[in-house]
């Protein structure tokens, strides 16, 4: 079996969606004929949340080398669902100004040193660099050049054009140059959304269409095997709520719905799973929804999967900082086969939900209240699995790994030509 060096800062036990994406690639790549060899950083440099259960996704015998880095070690996350307090604004601004393209730039020396030795020892025939952090893409390009190996870049989120990063000052000119240099040295690029794929092709003439592929986050069918659990009766949101995700219209619509139908209040439960932003906790208190809304804090991935499968309905709040972003959790929501209420959804999300059915999109508190009424009126119809299962065939992570394996095979043909 041929080997590929997977260079990624984001890896289990880090409990982020990016870590899940890489873990599933590593899990299924052997079925596509490629043995992943992983180079990553020690978990002491990961900010919360951490989820040790994610380590079970990595197949036994997988080579994983974790290195030191010139980075600050993690801080503890508040317990019991307490709100997350961000660092001082001046410190955040200084880091954004000086760390180009991001703080993990400090990992590149270790990446190059250990990556070269690891790739030669394991006989790797290609390098796959995963970002964000986007400095890993830069480090991966330097490493592939040093090893004289083909390079695959995998981008979960955009680098340039990512409004969630909005680099200050000179970085606005430096980062497009860095991205262009890195893209020009890649043999293939994969993106998590088709819109990002098209954007890269428009901005980088050095990339041919055959060298850029859409590799959606998708879902793992093994995570959804077995009978559907009994309904918990709760409306559930799982995951991070930062980066421009505004929950206020939903909470205000929920308040309007309960004021109009007070008999529904004892039967209505909403659960937020994940780190709790301070504005969310404050809005729940301000609107008097403490008896309805539960802020569970960080939970394990296994609990997250169990709760979304048992939910009465699932809540989706796409970020407003990345244009037309499709949240990775949406694919797992589709696989859970529960009704979905999306608030502030961009067009690509609306398109997927239209294909799925059993969903509503809302942009205002009044529309949220109407969607909650729809959920209540259709409650009996939603007792079992809902949605169109044909949609799921497009986003199976096993099939994604097969596609990635085919991309890696094509690199050899290109390089040998």
For the chain, the domains span 2-218+396-416, 221-394
Give the least confident one: 168-172, 250-254, 390-394. Answer: 168-172
Whether residue 80 has pLDDT greater than 60: no
CA pair distance 143, 315, nearest whole angstrom = 41
Whether residue 85 has pLDDT greater than 60: no
Q: Do domains 2-218+396-416 and 221-394 have the same CATH topology?
A: yes
Whether residue 412 has pLDDT greater than 60: no
Cα dist from 259 to 13, 222, 263, 394, whole Å? 43, 41, 9, 41
Q: Are strands 127-131 and 2-8 parallel, antiparallel or unpaired?
A: parallel
Show Cβ contacts of residue 94 under 8 Å, excluding neighbours closer than 6 positions.
none
Span 110-142, pLDDT tens digits: 999 999 999 999 999 999 999 999 999 999 999
| DSSP letter (8 states) at residue 219 | B
100 vs 260, which has greater pLDDT? Answer: 260
Average pLDDT of the segment spanning 304-312: 96
Span 25-54, pLDDT tens digits: 999 999 999 999 999 999 999 988 889 999
SS3 content of the chain, % helix, strand, coil (to 5): 50, 20, 35
The fold of 2-218+396-416 is: Rossmann fold (3.40.50)
Whether residue 79 has pLDDT greater than 70: no
Please provide the size of the chain in residues: 417
74 vs 133, which has greater pLDDT? Answer: 133
For tokens 């086969």, the residue is: 337
From the list 335, 271, 356, the residue with the least C-alpha distance to 345 is 356
From the list 144, 173, 175, the residue with the least C-alpha distance to 158 is 175
Tell me the average pLDDT of the chain: 89
pLDDT band of residue 70 (cuts 50, 70, 90) is: confident
From the list 362, 359, 363, the residue with the least C-alpha distance to 338 is 359
Question: Within 13 Å and on the Cβ side, how many CA atoms surround 237?
Answer: 26
The fold of 221-394 is: Rossmann fold (3.40.50)
Taking the alpha carbons at both ends of the chain, their separation in whole angstroms is 22
Whether residue 94 has pLDDT greater than 70: no
CA pair distance 353, 315, nearest whole angstrom = 12
- Kindly provide the b/e burial profile for residues 144-178, where b requires at least 16 CB atoms within 10 angstroms of the residue's own CB: beebebbbbbbbbbbbbebeebebeeebeeebbeb
For tokens 């796409």, the residue is: 318
Which pLDDT does position 416 carry in this prediction? 38
Which pLDDT does position 304 carry in this prediction? 96
Which pLDDT does position 49 carry in this prediction? 84
Average pLDDT of the segment spanning 140-153: 97
| DSSP letter (8 states) at residue 321 | S
| DSSP letter (8 states) at residue 76 | P
CA pair distance 394, 341, nearest whole angstrom = 21
CA pair distance 89, 359, nearest whole angstrom = 38
CA pair distance 218, 117, nearest whole angstrom = 33
Q: Helical H runs in 149-287?
A: 171-184, 194-203, 248-260, 278-286
* Bond from prior residue into 44 cis (ω within 30 degrees of 0): no
Is the Cβ–Cβ distance between 155 and 136 less than 8 Å? no
CA pair distance 252, 364, nearest whole angstrom = 9
Which pLDDT does position 214 carry in this prediction? 95
pLDDT band of residue 260 (cuts 50, 70, 90) is: very high
Which pLDDT does position 413 carry in this prediction? 42
Give the least confident one: 13-17, 180-184, 205-209, 409-413. Answer: 409-413
Average pLDDT of the segment spanning 283-298: 96
Which pLDDT does position 88 carry in this prediction? 58
Whether residue 93 has pLDDT greater than 60: no
Is the Cβ–Cβ distance between 249 and 279 less than 8 Å? no
Show Cβ contacts of residue 21 under 8 Å, excluding neighbours closer than 6 positions.
130, 156, 192, 217, 328
CA pair distance 124, 381, nearest whole angstrom = 52
Whether residue 91 has pLDDT greater than 60: no
Q: Helical H runs in 154-193?
A: 171-184
CA pair distance 140, 305, nearest whole angstrom = 33
Which pLDDT does position 389 carry in this prediction? 84
Which token pair is 64?
A: 């994983």
Whether residue 84 has pLDDT greater than 60: no
pLDDT band of residue 164 (cuts 50, 70, 90) is: low
| Three-state SS at 252 | helix
Whether residue 415 has pLDDT greater than 50: no
Residue 17 backbone phi and psi in degrees, to 5 = -60, -35
From the list 27, 33, 41, the residue with the least C-alpha distance to 71 is 41
pLDDT band of residue 417 (cuts 50, 70, 90) is: very low
């Amino acid at each position: 079996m041929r080997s590929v060096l997977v260079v990624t800062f984001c890896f289990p036990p880090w409990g982020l969606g990016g870590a899940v994406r890489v873990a599933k690639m590593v899990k299924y790549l052997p079925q596509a004929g490629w043995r992943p060899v992983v180079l990553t950083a020690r978990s002491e440099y990961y900010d919360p949340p951490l989820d040790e259960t994610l380590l079970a996704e990595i197949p036994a015998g997988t080579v994983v080398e974790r290195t030191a880095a010139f980075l600050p070690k993690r801080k503890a996350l508040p317990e019991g669902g307490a709100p997350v307090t961000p660092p001082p604004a001046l410190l955040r601004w200084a880091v954004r100004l000086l760390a180009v393209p991001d703080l993990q730039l400090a990992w590149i020396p270790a990446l190059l040193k250990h990556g070269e030795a690891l790739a030669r020892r394991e006989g790797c025939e290609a390098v796959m660099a995963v970002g964000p952090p986007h400095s890993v893409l830069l480090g991966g390009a330097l490493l592939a050049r040093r090893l004289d190996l083909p390079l695959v870049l995998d981008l979960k989120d955009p680098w340039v054009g990512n409004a969630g990063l909005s680099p200050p000052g000179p970085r606005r000119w430096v980062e497009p140059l860095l991205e262009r240099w890195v893209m020009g040295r890649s043999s293939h690029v994969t993106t998590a959304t088709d819109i990002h794929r098209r954007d890269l092709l428009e901005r980088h003439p050095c990339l041919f269409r055959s060298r850029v592929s859409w590799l959606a986050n998708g879902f793992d069918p093994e995570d959804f095997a077995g009978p559907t659990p009994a309904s918990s009766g709760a409306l559930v949101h799982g995951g991070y709520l930062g980066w421009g995700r505004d929950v206020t219209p939903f909470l205000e619509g929920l308040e309007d719905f309960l004021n109009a139908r007070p008999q529904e209040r004892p039967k209505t439960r909403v659960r937020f799973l994940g780190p709790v932003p301070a504005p969310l906790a404050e809005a729940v208190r301000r609107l008097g929804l403490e008896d309805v809304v539960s802020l569970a804090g960080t939970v394990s991935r296994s609990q997250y999967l169990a709760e979304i499968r048992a939910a009465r309905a699932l809540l989706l709040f796409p970020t407003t900082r990345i244009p037309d972003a499709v949240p990775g959790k949406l694919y797992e929501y589709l696989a859970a086969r529960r009704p979905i209420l999306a608030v502030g959804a961009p067009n690509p999300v609306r398109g997927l939900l239209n294909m799925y059915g059993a969903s509503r999109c809302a942009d205002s508190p009044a529309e949220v209240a109407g969607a909650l009424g729809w959920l209540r009126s259709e409650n009996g119809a939603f007792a079992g699995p809902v949605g169109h299962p044909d949609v799921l065939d497009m986003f199976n992570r096993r099939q994604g790994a097969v596609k990635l394996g085919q991309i890696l095979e094509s690199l050899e043909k290109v390089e040998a030509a």
